[in-house]
Structure 1
Amino acid sequence: MPDAGTSRARYRRILRFASIYIAQAWWYELVLPRIGLAGLAARGRARRLTRIAQRFHVLAVDLGGLMIKVGQFLSSRLDILPPEITSELAGLQDEVPAVPFPAIRALAEAELGAPLDRVFAWFDEVPVAAASLGQAHRARLAEEDAAVVGFDAVVVKVQRPGIQAIVDVDLAALRRVAGWLSRVRIVSDHVNLPILVQEFAETSLAEIDYLQEAANAERFADDVADDARVDVPDIVWERTTRRVLTLSDVTAIKVNDVEALRAAGIDPSAVAAAFAQAMFEQLFGRGFFHADPHPGNIFVTPAAAAPGGGADAGAPPWRLTFIDFGMMGQVPDGLRDGLRRLLIAVASRDGTGLVAAIRDVGVLLPSAETTELERAMTQLFARFGGMGFAQLRDVDPNEFRQFGEQFGEVVRSLPFQLPENFLLVIRAMSLTSGVCSALDPEFNIWDAVEPYAGRLMREQSGNLVQDLAQRAVSIAGLALGMPQRVDALATRVEEGRVAVTTPALDRRLARLERTGRRIVSAVLFAALFVGGILVLPANGVIGTVLLIASALPLLHALFAGIAGRRGPG
């Protein structure tokens, strides 16, 4: 376990890194544009952002703990972070040097209350996998335990010694940084960082509680019990504690090992389609989903290699076996309905419907002006809708860049908020797309989405009559109230009391007004400064007063408007 001095040093290192690059971003993105040097800030932006991401990559690998998971999370936020950052962090892997076996042995024996050679018939000292929060070892159960559970080959996950203290330090540092950033209005308008960090904290703390992971695995197994395509390892509860998890060894073909799949007579494109459908069912159907479906957590198990060997008549010749249930997501009924509408809008290439579904899901604040976003989505579907991954790779990169330049600022300027667990939905879908494209370069996500969306539409058709009745009542109410509303509007027009609200114009006028005030301050600064220099030789006192006084309008010219971008202190 890290001592107090090590923990303080870790905490300070994270805060020091964050403060340096927050200050740098503030200077380049807020200050320089306000003094007419926006071009200077823009010229080096790509190189500057890449350097920041590279240095965070180094920091994350060096520190381990939650920092690697923070980097993985940032790499998936294509909506709010520039590609220079997301692409650099995309290769960040949760692989760290293994903990020496004596420390693992000591922790496992303390948790299980007995020596390992008495609990297990065999225990491999070399880990099969080592991650930032724990590591896994193969083992064989003792005869009496194997007789009870019906198998002897197991994998034992052991938590890294001292990881709880490291997680606590990392979360404290992240909360501090989130507090800093939430005071900057340009950040707080887009995302509620304290809530975001709290959700990340809950997920991380659940991930190091192996009793919770075991319960998740059993719940997931119950959910997919009727799905012949999906399998889950069995939990050995007698050899499981909060920091040690023992489960059946289900190691098989890694889901993205295309050569091994073909050697086993398995079509990778069929695996891609089945994997996409399995994830859609979890996300949009059951609402309890695996939030970390990267290739290391999914195996393809041929029927002959499954427990019991062979397969029942009519059963699929292989199964998708999910492991590692530490990071699971839940979608409440209301959010799941919104996600279904979103999926249907995507399947029907309906840009306006997609934006409406995004608003209904709660990702966009009600005040968001979405006209430009609707236009962007409509053009996106018109140009790229229906294309598979291979076709998208053939598109001229300049076309993507032009589209991004045209609409990227629109997306980043919108006031986003993130419903509970929505980040895990984004993560799961992003990883699913990556796995499918690795399995089959010709994989077309539209082909996977459309049948599922069609099924959702058929399932919802039972509510069609009720929905139509509600709409009829609503329209009738509007019709009955229309004469009074028209009469009231005519009266207001006659009296000159009609006002037109134009938020975009109001914002532009406000910016112009602030700019005008800063120009006046700049002129006043120049006058006082030059006057002070001229007067100084003749009258030192008055010259000094003028020079000191010139600092006030200078400060206003430089920083006016920044306060307007900040939230409450």
Structure 2
Amino acid sequence: MTSVRQEKAKFRTGARLHRARYRRILRFAAWHLVVTWWFELFLPRIWLGKIAERNRAQRMRRFARRFHNLAVDLGGLMIKVGQFMSSRLDVLPPEITAELEGLQDEVPPVPFAAIRALAETELGAPLETLFASVDPTPIAAASLGQAHRAQLRPDDADDTGLDAVVLKVQRPGIDEIVAIDLAALRKVGRWLSHVRLVSDRANAPALVEEFATTSRQEIDYLNEAANLERFAEDFATDPRVRTPQVVWERTTRQVLTLEDVTAIKITDSQRLLAAGIDPAKVAPVFAEIMFEQLFTNGFFHADPHPGNIFVTPNPEPSTEHPWTVTFIDFGMMGEVSAQTRSGLRKLLIAAAGRDGKGLVSAISDVGVLVPSADSAALERAMTELFARFGGMGFAELKEVDPHEFSDFAAEFGDVVRSLPFQLPENFLLIIRAMSLTSGVCSSLDPRFNLWDSVEPFAAQLLHDERGNLVRDVAKEAFDVASLTLRLPKRVDALLSQLEEGSQTVANPRLERHLVRLIRITQGGVAAVVFAALLISGAVIRAEDLVLGNVLMMVSAVPLLHSLWSARSLR
């Protein structure tokens, strides 16, 4: 009876803690959403935007510091959210990314007694009977699990050809924690779907569901082992890449046993130099391997942060391959569809060729730009971007006069923000992988220029695309030739029908289509005039309040005409 009461009390305590965790996440999100709305949306609308600008950096740092503390305290998926934010150097200010960088490694370990209990339950036997030894001190503690070094028993070592292994065990109770965190994130996603500034750019609930799918896959170690073997097969003939071997006899959904491939952490420049490895030579090789995953294989490591990538000196170094890039942790993997991969290849080729129009076309193909968007202005912006900053590395960009960036942002910022962008499925992982790749390469070599790695890879892709183009042109030529051979007979039949009067040409709706076309044209012209007056008024308003307000009010006339034209087409 006492045992039953203890179990019930334990259950009630767990439920209470889960509710508290859920409410704490929502309170944090709600407060900072309100703060962001106030400073970034409301104050600028009442012409007090300068107040928001004055303390924006301090506000961002305060938010990041509070989220950092929340993530470390709660663990679970909050760590993963923070890690993702720390990698978004492209869209988040440095005040946030710098503060959250520590979340890559800063996770308190679980006591070994709890790890032992879970592993023995999963494997069905005491660890002493399964392994020759297990080190109770973890070599890595992550948000969802932690890893310990171990030695296989002699008979298992003979069967597998391995001796030293890594025993990776999930954190006890992580299933329940992930469920609570996902419930809170789904709630936040629904809140964001009602914020037009966010909903116009991304489907927040869909992004949360994508994150949920990835997270559930990460806590299934059988799935991770299968990912590892698929990745290893993709690079089976590539001497630059190494992966650990899976010990399937000691692997379950919550326990994963792998070959110990621990080597030099990829960003540890001092150890690389001590081993005779030039970090500046590692960067382009790592970048090319990641490009191959994304643009060729379509199956990629979506979490290539420094803790998951090693550089392993070869025991018998050769001039060509004295070291390998070793990947671990295959829980977060991404898959790119053939259509998206084709768009990404086009995007890479256009970027390497500084082709603004081609880049916008590729962005549309990938699905980031809604098909109905008017891309002409974006093409001009991209062309100008390449003309000013194309080909520069991060170190060179840091030397550019900040006023030049400000001028570019002032000239084209509104254009980019006004276009209907969206994040297609699985694109979140692509962005994460590329952001982390860029960060690792820059850490290896501050002068690293991504373009130097992009251009030779893009040249090979372009060569492959030309081969496909030749085949397509040959097929098209065959179809045209076939049609040409049939054409005289079809023309002769048509002429015979016309002579006999059996062929008629009629289109009773032609006149209605012409009227409709005229109205569409009128509506389009009215919409352009409306936009011109409205934008002119908004710009002039800063200098001349009266004239600006007059132009903005007058813009209502062509707007009404445009709406009337659209209504009359129904």
Cα offsets for 1:95-148 (capped at 9, x unmatched): 211111111111111111111111110110100011111111000001111111
Q: Which residue identity lines up with residue 113 of structure 1 in the other structure?
A: G
**Does the CA-based 8 Å contact 1:54-1:88 persist in structure 2?**
yes
2:468 maps to 463
5+ long unaligned stretches in structure 1:
305-309, 477-483, 515-569
Q: CA offsets per residue over residues 31-53 of structure 1, 9 Å max, x none? A: 33444444444444343333223
**CA distance in 1 between partners of 2:524 and 2:97 (Å):** 38
Pairing 1:208-357 to 2, within 5 Å after superposition: 208-304=219-315, 310=316, 316-357=321-362
Aligned-partner Cα distance in 1 for 2:241–2:518:
69
Q: Among 416, 420, 424, which residue is 2:421 paired with? A: 416
* Residue 398 of structure 2: aligned partner: 393
SS in 1 for 2:324: strand
Distance in 2 between the 1:119 and 1:259 partners?
38
One-letter identity of the residue aligned with 2:243: V
- Which residue number in structure 1 is paired with residue 158 of structure 2? 147
CA 1:393–1:32 in 2, change beyond 3 Å: closer, same or farther? closer
Which residue is equivalent to 2:380? Answer: 375
> Which one of the candidate residues 131, 155, 165 is aligned to 1:120?
131
Confirm whether residue 177 of structure 1 aligns to residue 188 of structure 2: yes
Distance across 2 between alignment mates of 1:8 and 1:45: 33
Q: Is the 8 A contact 1:139 1:154 kept in 2?
A: yes
Q: Which string of whole-angstrom CA distances, capped at 9 and with x for unpartnered residues, describes residues 295-343 of structure 1?
A: 1111111110xxxxx36x7862211111110111101111000000000
Question: How many angstroms does 1:372 deviate by?
Answer: 3.4
CA contact (8 A) 1:190 1:413 kept: no
| Residues 362 and 496 (structure 1), Cα distance of their counterparts in 2 relative to 1, 3 Å cut | closer
Q: Deviations over 1:420-460 (max 9, x none)?
A: 21111111111111111111222221111111111111111
Q: Give yes or no for the alignment of 1:109 onto 2:120.
A: yes
2:494 is the counterpart of 1:453: no
Q: Shift of the alpha carbon at 1:177?
A: 0.7
Contact 2:87 2:436 in 1 (8 A): no
> 1:496–1:187: structure 2 CA closer, same or farther, 3 Å change rule?
closer
The one of 21, 30, 52 equivalent to 1:19 is 30
In the alignment, residue 430 of structure 1 is paired with which amino acid?
A: S
Shift of residue 154, structure 1, vs aligned partner: 0.3
The answer to whether the 8 Å contact 2:89/2:435 transfers is no
Q: What residue identity is the alignment partner of 1:424?
A: L
The Cα shift of 1:511 comes to 9.8
SS in 2 for 1:228: coil
Question: Could you say which residue in structure 2 is the equivalent of 1:157?
Answer: 168
Which amino acid counterpart does residue 322 of structure 2 have in structure 1? Answer: P
Q: Is the 8 A contact 2:202 2:421 kept in 1?
A: yes
Q: CA–CA distance in 2 between the matches of 1:432 and 1:39?
A: 36
Change (3 A) 1:445 1:64: same
SS at match of 1:499: helix
1:404–1:83 distance in 2 versus 1, CA, 3 Å? farther
Q: 1:123 to 1:399 in 2, by over 3 A?
A: same
Paired amino acid for 1:152: D
Q: Look up the match of 1:523.
A: none
Q: For residue 248 of structure 1, report the CA deviation from its aligned partner.
A: 0.4
Deviates more, 1:39-48 or 1:357-366: 39-48
The separation in 1 between residues aligned to 2:519 and 2:223, in whole angstroms, is: 65
Report the CA distance shift for 1:452/1:513 in structure 2 as closer, same or farther (over 3 A).
closer
Partner residue, 2:557 = none
5+ residue gaps, structure 2, are 1-10, 484-506, 539-570
Q: Please name the residue that 1:534 is paired with.
A: none
Amino acid aligned to 2:34: A
Quote how far apart the aligned CAs of 1:508 are.
7.6
Shift of the alpha carbon at 1:206? Answer: 0.6
Q: 2:212 aligns with which of 201, 205, 210?
A: 201
**CA offsets, 1:183-205, max 9 Å, x none?**
12221111001110000011111
Q: Secondary structure at the match of 2:150?
A: strand
- Is the contact between residue 233 and residue 248 of structure 1 (CA under 8 Å) also seen in structure 2? yes
Structure scoring higher RCO (CA < 8 A, sep ≥ 6) equals 1
Distance 1:95 1:508, change over 3 A: farther
Does the aligned pair in 1 maintain the 2:90–2:435 contact within 8 Å? no
State the secondary structure of the residue aligned to 2:392: coil
Q: Deviations over 1:325-364 (max 9, x none)?
A: 0111101111000000000000001112111111110011
Question: 2:21 matched to which residue of 1?
Answer: 10
Instruction: For 1:276 and 1:496, locate their aligned partners in 2 and report how far apart those are by CA, in whole Å.
Output: 53
Give the RMSD, CA atoms, in angstroms.
3.1
The alpha carbon displacement at 1:285 in A equals 0.5
What residue is the counterpart of 1:549 in the other structure? none
Q: 1:276: Cα distance to partner?
A: 1.0
SS in 2 for 1:365: coil
Aligned position for 2:545: none
Distance 1:327 1:248 in 2: 19
**Letter matched to residue 69 of structure 1:** K
Q: CA deviation at 1:397?
A: 3.6
Q: How many pairs does the alignment contain?
A: 498
Q: Bigger shift: 37-46 or 449-458?
A: 37-46
Q: Secondary structure at the match of 1:501?
A: helix
Answer with 34-43 or 49-58: which moved more. Answer: 34-43
TM-score (norm. length: structure 1): 0.81
Mean alpha-carbon deviation: is it higher for 489-498 or for 449-458?
Answer: 489-498
- TM-score for both structures, normalised by structure 2: 0.80
Structure 2: distance between partners of 1:126 and 1:360: 49
